[in-house]
Structure 1
Amino acid sequence: MDLEFERCYRAVASRDARFDGWFFTAVHTTGIYCRPSCPARTPMARNVSFFSTAAAAQAAGFRACRRCRPDAAPGSPEWDVRADVVARAMRLIADGEVERSGVPGLARRLGYSERQLHRLLVGELGVGALALARARRAQTARVLIETTDLPMADVAFAAGFASIRQFNDTVREVFATTPTALRAKRRGTPGTPGELTLRLTARAPYDAAEVLLFLGAHAVPGLEEWDGTTYARVLDLPHGPAVVRLSPAADGSVSARLRLTSLRDLGAAVSRCRRMLDLDADPSAVDEVLGADPALAALVAGAPGRRVPASPDAAELAIRAVLGQQVSVAGARTLTGRVLHAAGTPLPEPVGTLTHAFPRPEALADADLTAVGLTGSRRRTVHALAAALADGDIPLDPGADRAEASRALVAVPGIGPWTAALVGLRGLADPDVWLPGDLALRRSLAALGSSDTDAAGRWQPWRSYAVMHLWALAVPTLFTRAPALRSAS
């Protein structure tokens, strides 16, 4: 985001929550930084500076406001929209790559040297990867301090700190208080033992019920569960499987109940849930573009802020997309369930109806799928795709180059442009994907008096959201706010 001073200051003066997460306001007279919607008295313009990340504000010596909690603001939608190396790095850092493999590992994943990556991040954001990861660790630590009774030493190492001293110093610098004082002031009481309950914020408008309904309608027994209100699923995280239960909250956010194998995976779990629920999107920007088109205006007005539900794991989505080719949603669920039980990783013990984590590519590449019910050609495609994912020939991690991933996918025999586009839309959370030849889209476009060719470019850079509006028109059972499909004639 271009941090043009007057524009940012107007957002702060009007307490515009739409800009929360886009930038942070640092107040020189108090030494704190806030989100734009902070309810505190608006500081004088001469006393403020603006930063694009919380990490940059912290590196400049400012501490987080205790009133508006800027560290808990929705993430910047910029990192999902952009495809350059800085955005890819931000997505990987949010997923915990620095904690898992350090800055050298992050640089390798991006194909850059450490020096090149540091120069790019500092040049745009003012801080490097270590400072960005430190801000992420501080937020994870705060969540654990406020939602568990874990000893502080356990909190420190679970959040990714290398030592108790580093943990204590960071909490003091970022929050201007001690870990013990943070716990004493926590809101509410810890939940069920072994389970964390978090509030995942979103930019309004946000219809959590609709997003969860869409995910629930595609739920695979054993991997996912849907009871009409709460969507639950198994997450395959770096240090072991986890179970998350997601349900709408009264304030427009999403309540997440997490059961983790290792608390070290908390940051990754939150990042993947946010991506799955599309919580960091900028609905105002999307609706402004799509609502200006006469063909979509009524659809956008009827469902403002509609989101694109994604997958927490793009490799899983790629396999499921292949299994779902040319079959119904119910048929895809059945086939995926069979693959899950044939090659998935069983949980140490079932959690309700959840029994397995989705097969990892290396397990699926060698799995015997003859009894699953796939055709020979489809079975060969699944094996070839899994082998390419396992070997790293197809990059589908959060920092993947989306264009490169699409090219690699269509090189696999049996994967065409539609499947590759679906992986981009719901696997890599690309906001600007069109599904060529999709029958449901064609049906909706015909009803609106438009065509696939017309739509190919006119809704950029938000074509993924246009897809969701048109799907809602064609398949209303997957959406809570879906209009009836009428013929153009």
Structure 2
Amino acid sequence: MHLTRTWTPPGAYDLPGSLAVLARGPYDPTFQVHAGSVWRTTRLRSGPATLRLTPAASRVRAEAWGAGAQEVLDGLPALLGEGDAPEEFVPRHRVVAESHRRHPGLRLTRTGRVLESLVPAILEQKITSIEAYRSWRHLVRKFGEPAPGPHPSLHVVPEPRTWVRIPSWEWHRANVDSKRSDAIVRAAGRSSRMEEAAAMALPAALARLQAIPGVGPWTAAEALQRSNGDPDAVTVGDLHLPRTVGYALTGERNTDDAGMLALLEPYRGQRHRAARLLTLTGLHPPRRRPRRQPGDITRL
């Protein structure tokens, strides 16, 4: 099945910038940018789908393939940020105002798919991004399926029951320890409960995800930022974000979660958007120690 549709944004719109948070590294088998188009795969209730998004004048042209083509196009406005309201954001700091001015087309995406955001967030717990991206790539390519449509290298994420059935040695080969694999299996085994969180208000959605052992505030916020597009789902427990926010707003280099939340308090209701705008400034505290090297449990 091959279907097309167009979407007209209500104002300035940055397609790759808005959807960039959905990519899990430069070689994500579910997300690629090629020749000006954004390609994305997903698994919906109606089946797998591949989506190609291309800016065309003042519109976005969408093409969809697969059993889930109609459903993915029905969710296109939410995915592209139509339900977002960036005009409600009021900058309270000069550096935030400047970033807001430089990125007028940034909108928060809403995929409506919780598990496909939750699994990679669990993989990213307490390790380097490089390690997590490699694990995600390995698992999706091995246990997912080739994506419908013309893109030759894209894959669709595994079904929930497939995540549950991955044997322990395959998690080990993917460089995923038992703590993270167990959390993924628990979440996938309750996939219906997880997907219900897409329609919940933020407090209830956070509580629903954190009811899974191994899913804490950091992981839940990272997933819901993408699945629910909530502008207030600020990430706590991150190694770098508090320091980035603190350094950009005060020049201090050792801000912790409590300090970050205090600095973002004027943006309550829009704290995630404020934090994202600050990460786009490029203002980061200088390193005092070597970059952490990726680990590898596959040799153990």
Question: TM-score scaled by structure 2?
Answer: 0.79
Cα distance, 1:466 vs structure 2: 0.9
Who is 2:295 aligned against? none
| Counterpart in the other structure of 2:246 | 445
Please state how far the C-alpha of 1:244 moved relative to its aligned partner. 0.9
Q: Matched residues in 2 for 1:329 and 1:228: separation?
A: 26
- Structure 2 CA distance, aligned partners of 1:350 and 1:244? 9
- 1:399 alignment counterpart: 199
* 2:17 is the counterpart of 1:222: no
Aligned equivalent of 2:255:
none
Report the Cα offset of residue 408 of structure 1: 2.7
CA-to-aligned-CA distance 1:288-345 (integer Å, 9 cap, x gap): x2x2444522222222242224545221000110012233443322111122133324
Contact 1:278 1:307 in 2 (8 A): yes
Answer yes or no: is the 8 Å Cα contact 1:212–1:247 preserved in 2.
no
Q: Which residue of 2 aligns with 1:322?
A: 122
Q: Deviations over 1:345-387 (max 9, x none)?
A: 445x673234532112222112223322111222222212222
Task: Note if contact 1:200-1:255 (Cα within 8 Å) is conserved in structure 2.
Answer: yes
- For 2:140, which of 316, 340, 365 is the aligned residue? 340
Shift of 1:459: 0.3
Residue from 172, 183, 186 that aligns with 1:381: 183
SS at 1:473 equivalent: coil
Number of residue pairs matched? 275
Partner of 2:161: 362
Aligned in 2, Cα 1:402/1:197: closer, same or farther, shift over 3 Å?
A: same
Superposition map of 1:65-104 within 5 A:
none
Taking only aligned residues, the RMSD between alpha carbons, in angstroms, comes to: 2.7
SS in 2 for 1:351: coil
The answer for the alignment partner of 2:277 in structure 1 is: 469
Question: 1:395 deviation in Å?
Answer: 4.4
Is the 1:221–1:354 contact (alpha carbons within 8 Å) kept by the matching residues of 2? no
* Residue 257 (structure 2) pairs with residue 454 (structure 1): no
Instruction: Tell me which amino acid in the other structure corresponds to 1:277.
Output: L
Distance 1:281 1:394, change over 3 A: closer
The answer as to 2:68 corresponding to 1:269 is no
Give the 3 Å change call, closer, same or farther, for CA 384–429 of structure 1 in structure 2. same
- Hey, what's the Cα distance between the residues in 1 that align with 2:194 and 2:7? 31
TM-score relative to the length of structure 1: 0.51
Q: Is there any run of 5+ residues in structure 1 with no aligned partner, and where?
A: 1-193, 475-483
Counterpart selection for 1:239 from 46, 64, 71? 46
Provide the residue aligned with 1:278 in structure 2: 81
Q: 8 Å contact 2:111–2:227 — kept in the other structure? A: yes
Q: Tell me which residue corresponds to 2:15.
A: 208
Aligned pairs (5 A) from 1:130-169 = none
Equivalent position of 1:153 in the other structure: none
Q: Aligned in 2, Cα 1:325/1:244: closer, same or farther, shift over 3 Å?
A: same
Unaligned runs of 5+ in 2: 252-258, 287-300
Does residue 195 of structure 1 match 2:2? yes
Corresponding residue for 1:412? 212
User: What one-letter code is carried by the residue in structure 1 that aligns with 2:243?
Assistant: R
- Secondary structure (helix, strand or coil) at the match of 2:198 reads coil
Asked if the contact 1:315–1:396 (Cα under 8 Å) also holds between the matched residues in 2, the reply is no
